[in-house]
Each structure stands twice: as C-alpha cells, then as structure tokens.
Amino acid sequence: MKNPQATKAAPAATGEPMKGADILIRCLERQGVEVLFAYPGGGSIELHQSLQKSKIRVILPRHEQGGAFAAAGYARATGQTGACMATSGPGATNLITGIADAYMDSIPVVFITGQVPHTYIGKNAFQETDIIGVTRPICKHSHLVLSPEEIPEVISEAFYLANSGRPGPVVIDIPKDVQQKTCIPLFPEQPVVPRAYKLKLAPEAREVEAVRKAIEEAERPCLYVGGGIISAGAEKELLKFAETYDIPVATTLMGVGCFPEDHRLSLKWLGMHGTYYANYAANECDLLVALGARFDDRVTGNVNTFAVNSRIVHVDIDPSEINKNKRADLGVVCDVKQMLKKLLRNPVRKERPEWHALVRKWKEDFPLRYADSHLIQPQYVVDRLYRLTNGEATIVTGVGQHQMWAAQFYQFKRPRQLLTSGGLGAMGFGIPSAIGAKIARPDQLVVEIDGDGSFQMNIQELGTIHCEDVEVKMIILNNQHLGMVAQWEDRFYGSCRGNTVLTNVRADRPYPDFVTIAKGYLIPGREVWKREEVDDAIREMLETPGPFVLDVHVEYQEHVLPMIPAGGTYKTIIME
Amino acid sequence: MRHTISVLVENKFGVLTRIAGLFSGRGYNIESLTVGPTQDRALSKMTIVTSGDDAVLEQIDKQLNKLVEVVKVTDLTGAGFTARELMLIKLKATGKTRGEIVQIANIFRGSVTYVHHDAMVIEVTGRTEKLDEFIELMEPFGIVELARTGKVALARSAQPTESLQEYDSHC
C-alpha cells in the first residue's frame, strides 16, 4: 500500500497519537484548504467533530450535489484544488454528478466520503455504497483508506494528483472505524507522487521547431484553444503568441476568457452554438493549432468532416487526447505554457493580409445578433448586464439556452470569468457553483445567469446563500420551458412538446413564483415583465447589498443561433 | 488485428477493476486477461489479449498509461515473445477410451491430474493454438468442462519485457 519512494528515507513517527479523523483534517490544513463544502451524516460525523477544532471554514450546502458543484466552482474560480465531503451511501451518491462534471471539465477537486466501518463493507450495511466502484470511471484516481497510518500519504497524493498534469477529481473513501482509530501520524514533507505517475511537461526542441515550421508554412492559420490554457495559466503567453504570430483565435466554451473577446484577433468561441466566423475560420484554415483542447463533438460536429483541409497540430498535456477524436498531423505532449514560451523565443512574423481580410469579412457579415421584439429577449438581458457591469462580472451559468446566450452576449476578457458545465452539461450547476466562486473570490462581482429549469435543480442552495452570507446575484431567464430541448423539438421533431413545458395550467402566472420562494429563504428579489424595466431591475440587483434574485419573464420565443446540428458540418450552420 | 499487451501495474487492490472497467467503459475488446505477482512484491504483471485497428490500439495504450497505477504498457505484437496458456480439461473416459486419451495427451506433453472410473482431468500447457487443437481432438470423447488461464507472455530478450520498446507518446 505504501509508496516506496516516499517511505524509503522516512523518519519514525513521533508525537502524540491522533484519531484518524483529526489526522485527516490536519492533512487538509497542511494542504492549505481554507474552505470545505461538507454535508454531515453518520459516516462522517467524526470528521465534522474534528472540523470544529479547525480553522477550516465549513460551508453546509443543502444537498450534497450542491456541495460538489460549490467545491468545483471554488476550484474553477481560482485554480486551487476544491475540497468537498459527504457521508457514506446516499451522501456519497449525491456527489456523483458533481464528480462527473469535474472529471469532464478537468477541474481539481478532492472528494472525501465517509464509509461504513471496514468490517461492514460488503455486507449491505446501512448507508453503505461501494463509492470507489461507482466513481471509478468518473474520477482521475480514488483510494479506500484502510488504516489511519495511511491517511497523510493518501491525502498528499490526492491533492498532488488532482492539480498536476491534467487536473481532475480524486475520491477518498474513509471508513468510520479508520476515522476513530488512533495512531502517531507521519506527515510527509514533500508531495507524495505515485511511482508510475509521470508527466511530460517540457516540449523537446524538435517539437517546438516542428510547430514553428508548420506555422511558417501556413497561409491560413487558426488557433483553437481550450480550457488547457486556463489550467496551465498560459493566457499571457497566448496573447503574446497570437499577437506576435498574428493568428486569429477561436476558443472553446471551456476556454472562454483565456483570450480577450474584444481583441482584433478574437473569433469568440466555436462549435455548435459558436460564432459563424469561428467555425468558418477553424474549418477553412490550412493549419489548425489546437492548444489544450480536445476536439469535443460539440466543437467539431462530424469529426470526419471537421477541418478536413487543414493540417492539424495538437498540443496537450494528456497523451491520450492526441489522436483520440481527431488524427493530428503533429501531436505534442507538454505543458502548453512551456510550448508557447518556447515558440515566442524565435517567432514567425509572416503577413497574411488575404486571410485576415477573409476572417474580417466573416466577422462583419455574420456577427452574433438577435431579432428585435417587443418582448424581453434573453440576449438583450445578457447584453444589458454586460454593459451595466462594465464587463467585469464573473458569470456562472446553469445549462441550456441561457447558458449559450450568456456565453455569446457577455464579452469575456479574463480567464475564469465564465464558469459553466461544459463537458457534462449538468443542469443545476449554476447556483452552487456561483456560491463556490463567490466564497473563493469575494472581491469579484459574481452573477449567476440561469434558466427556470436549471434554477430549480439546486434551488435549495438559496439556503446556503443566505446562511453563509454569500453575495451572489442571480438572474433567471424565465421562459417556462426546458428551452434547449424545446428548440431541438422545433427544429427536428415538428415542435411536438415532449415534457419540455414547465408551466402550471392551474396557475394564472408563470410557475413557480421564484421571488416568493427567495423571500422564504430571506433573499430579496424582483420580477421583470417589460423590456423598459430591464436596466432599472439590473441596477437594483447590483445596488442591493447581499444576494438577489431577478426573475426575468422572457417567454419561450427564441432559439439559440447560430446552430450547427449535431453531427453536421460548418456548412450546415443555421443562422435563422 | 490481435495484440498481446503486457502491463506492469502497482500491486494494489482495485487495479484489476480499473483496467477491466477501462476496457468495458471505452468499448475495447478483451479476449483474455491474466494477472499475477512478479518478483517485486509491489508490482503485478498482466497479459491482455485484445484486438482492434491501429487507432484503437493507440488509445488502449494511452488510456492504460493514464491510469495512475499503471507502470508500463508494452505491446508485444510484432516483437519476439513467448506466450503460454494452461488448460485443465475434464473428459468422459471409460476403460475403453482412457488409453487413447492418455496417448494423445502424451503427444501434447499433457499430464493426467485426476482419474475417475468414468472421467479424467488432463492438464495441458502451450500456445493457444496447441490447446485449441487438443480440444478438437478430445471432442469425440466428450468434454465435461474445461478451464483455461488465458495467455501469459514475456519478451524473448535478455532485458525485461518492459524495456522492449519505449512508449512513444508522439505521433
């Protein structure tokens, strides 16, 4: 069980015996954990008792899923590893969606679950679930702790794995008897690294030169950059690289903000609901340079017809991403920041006026837009929010139409400014992730843009917001529909509504009354019915101290456009 | 195409599930999988026989390497390697047929591990094809049941199997 490298020269343990639970909390403190999102239960009561003696701030979510998303929101907002805890059985299974979300979007979070005493494991004991088995395909690594002596190494390893290489969630399952047993702990001074875990961070000189040469030869290069830029903290290098080499930049949804969207080289983001010009540039270029992105199907559509006439350079820290979805002509495994730094040492300066003119024409001819209406268009609300917050707010979304509009019509200029469930697409992400983000960054204005469907999936977290004094501003783009599915119904299923309507036939108003619900949680709110009220209502929300719920009645009227149908190509893009 | 892959892993519980789960979760095929300890008690060696085109094999290699407890993945296919499998086969055998069965078993260097008045168990070791041939020859006598280990394999070289080729993460 022991890591041979870590224990080889280890001194003998000295000091007072400690309970397993106390050891674990001490380990979290040593890892620098300041905030723990934790919901107690029989399997984790010992850990919560230990926490009462600790300086770690414990946030009590109202549902374990809320705790999981909040920890991920904390990590997304800062890049620091989030920490989340739940009890055994149902507590642990309630974390699953949050763990899967962190896995899909490569977010560093350590999840700790209580477990039944180890002698009960496998007996179908009360609140027993094999959570290591359940989470195996949705976490970077996991560990069942069988003795208190192991805890320091296991926790050290968990935090190292979660936030090194390609980040991801790590699950630690700790039986109640291990929490109760005592031992004299030995805390490792250095991070514990599993011996088989090797990272290739530095690109080789020949690899850098090959990328450089590919760009030199290209007439129509395009950068396709993802969340890897943000994980690597490489936004400054990216900006300098794009400017020096003079190449247009399309980000993925996960990469939004890693390149300023008001920059002349920005194409905003590409994919199913990305801009016309980003999709055209990525497909009509002769060289596509993918940096920390993974050729997700929501980006490529039909992968076989995506960028068919381009050479593809793919730089990623995860070797398995190279050639997974799309064959790369040149794949390099390394830290993208190091690659960009090395490319900047000897830059290619090549003028490509025709290519830039073509890209400019696409941008001018097909900007993001929406139809005028006497109703409140959801895009209009996002646009007004952008202007009234001077583009400074951190935006957190749920999943669906509102998510796409938030990403399209707010202009992002810094990494970690848009927090959204990209890979898993988990509704209910918004409120709890905004809580985590605001707790992590109290200096920032955090606005959650949600839909009425997504909002109701973790609505209980309004309780956390009030009780923990978390100043989250919430805007509901309320169209009384599961709008994204309804949109697909309109486009592909003859508008036959298959359980996508959220209205209540017995109510004479939109259902439910969110402002009254917020009032029940002692959170102020306001409803908006008319377009003329929008600015005033947003101002009231921003000026009211503390959290606020703004319920904007937008009606189901709009489709998210542009849209490339699933499995389609950029040429099948729907513009209206 | 069929590939024989040797995987050196840390000897921790749950490793086998992680690897088997990776294959099922990503839709890769497993023909056989064997696992056992090595001379280093901290390590186990698995031999996996799988099949797929080049793109699938590249992903199997990379996804296996991505598991934290996997030390080394070596695709033996195309290199010189020795592979063996062990089989126990239980046959209907009467006084009339027993002699003939033992005769054939001797040709295959098999040995009798159990005899009953109307059945016997024979142990045979060898290449997969050899075991297949033996099964075919035994069919007329009546096979009650059989168990095979799946392949174990080592590189035919003076160095450990793991030094056979350097895993190339580039393309």
Residues B132-158 have pLDDT tens digits of: 999 999 999 999 999 999 999 999 999
Give the pair of three-digit tokens for residue A329. Answer: 């002509």
Catalytic residues of A: 64, 126-127, 176, 484
Distance from CA of B81 to the nearest CA of A (A): 24
Secondary structure of A223-290 in the HEC alphabet? EEECHHHHHHCCHHHHHHHHHHHCCCEEECCCCCCCCCCCCCCEEEECCCCCCHHHHHHHHHCCEEEE
The tens-digit pLDDT sequence of chain A (576 residues) is 344 444 444 456 678 999 999 999 999 999 999 999 999 999 999 999 999 999 999 999 999 999 999 999 999 999 999 999 999 999 999 999 999 999 999 999 999 999 999 999 999 999 999 999 999 999 999 999 999 999 999 999 999 999 999 999 999 999 999 999 999 999 999 999 998 899 999 999 999 999 999 999 999 999 999 999 999 999 999 999 999 999 999 999 999 999 999 999 999 999 999 999 999 999 999 999 999 999 999 999 999 999 999 999 999 999 999 999 999 999 999 999 999 999 999 999 999 999 999 999 999 999 999 988 889 999 999 999 999 999 999 999 999 999 999 999 999 999 999 999 999 999 999 999 999 999 999 999 999 999 999 999 999 999 999 999 999 999 999 999 999 999 999 999 999 999 999 999 999 999 999 999 999 999 999 999 999 999 999 999 999 999 999 999 998 988 999 999 999 999 999 998
Q: What is the ipTM of this complex?
A: 0.89
Distance of CA B95 to the CA centre of its chain: 34
| Residues B93 and B63 reside in one and the same domain | no
Q: CA angle at residue A184 from A183 to A189, to 5 degrees?
A: 130
CB A20 within 8 A of CB A42: no
The CATH classification of domain A15-183, taken from the options 2.60.120.200, 3.40.50.150, 3.40.50.2300, 3.40.50.970:
3.40.50.970
pTM, rounded to two decimals:
0.95
Q: How many CB atoms lie within 10 A of CB A412?
A: 27
- Residue at B36 is within a domain: yes
- Residue at B158 is within a domain: no
Q: What is the DSSP string of A118-182?
A: GGGTTTT-TT---HHHHHGGGSSEEEE--SGGGHHHHHHHHHHHHTSSS--EEEEEEEHHHHH-E
Q: Could you give the residue ranges of the DSSP H alpha helices within B67-158?
A: 95-107, 128-138
| Residues B92 and B131 reside in one and the same domain | yes
Alpha-carbon distance B69 to A142, whole Å? 11
| Residues B11 and B70 reside in one and the same domain | yes
| Residues B46 and B18 reside in one and the same domain | yes
B57 has a chain A CB within 8 A of its CB: no
Q: Which residues pair with A333 in a beta bridge?
A: A316
Q: How far is CA A287 from CA A330, B115, B167, in A?
A: 11, 71, 28
Task: Sort residue B6 into left (φ over 0), alpha (ψ -120 to 50) or beta.
Answer: beta
Q: Locate the chain B residue with the closest alpha carbon to A317.
A: B169
A328 has a chain B CB within 8 A of its CB: yes
State how many domains chain B has.
Answer: 2
Alpha-carbon distance A174 to A138, whole Å? 19
Q: What is the pLDDT of residue A5?
A: 44
**At A536, phi and psi to the nearest 5?**
-60, -40
Alpha-carbon distance A226 to A218, whole Å? 21
Alpha-carbon distance A289 to A282, whole Å? 9
Distance from CA of B16 to the nearest CA of A (A): 12
Provide the number of CB pairs (under 8 Å) joining chain A to chain B.
61
CATH topology of domain A378-553: Rossmann fold (3.40.50)
Alpha-carbon distance A332 to A320, whole Å? 11
- Residue at B131 is within a domain: yes
| Residues B67 and B104 reside in one and the same domain | no
Q: Could you give the residue ranges of the DSSP H alpha helices within A441-547?
A: 452-457, 462-467, 483-492, 514-520, 534-543
| Residues B48 and B59 reside in one and the same domain | yes
> In A, which residues are within 8 Å of B10 by CB distance?
194-196
Give the pair of three-digit tokens for residue A436. Answer: 């985590």
| Residues B30 and B61 reside in one and the same domain | yes
Domain boundaries along the sequence of chain A: 15-183, 205-365, 378-553
Q: What is the DSSP string of B60-71?
A: HHHHHHHSTTEE
Provide the pairing of β-strand A57-59 with A35-38.
parallel
CB B43 within 8 A of CB A229: no
CB A394 within 8 A of CB A437: yes
Q: Locate the chain A residue with the closest alpha carbon to B10.
A: A196
Nearest CB to A194: which of B58, B68, B170?
B68
Verify whether the Cβ–Cβ distance A195 to B12 is below 8 Å.
no
Q: Could you give the residue ranges of the DSSP H alpha helices within A366-450?
A: 378-388, 401-409, 430-440
| Residues B64 and B117 reside in one and the same domain | no
Verify whether the Cβ–Cβ distance A322 to B169 is below 8 Å.
yes
Q: How far is CA B74 from CA A560, B64, B79, in A?
A: 48, 10, 10
**Chain B neighbours among A 77-136 (CB < 8 Å)?**
132-133, 136
* Mutation site, A135, A195, A207, interface B, largest B CB count within 10 A: A195
- Residue at B57 is within a domain: yes
CB A267 within 8 A of CB A278: yes
Could you tell me the residue range of the domain that residue B109 belongs to?
82-148
Verify whether the Cβ–Cβ distance A195 to B71 is below 8 Å.
yes
Verify whether the Cβ–Cβ distance B171 to A330 is below 8 Å.
yes
Alpha-carbon distance A360 to A415, whole Å? 24
Domains A15-183 and A205-365 share a fold: yes
Q: Which of B45, B19, B43 lies closest to B30 in space, CA to CA?
A: B19
CATH topology of domain A205-365: Rossmann fold (3.40.50)
| Residues B105 and B130 reside in one and the same domain | yes
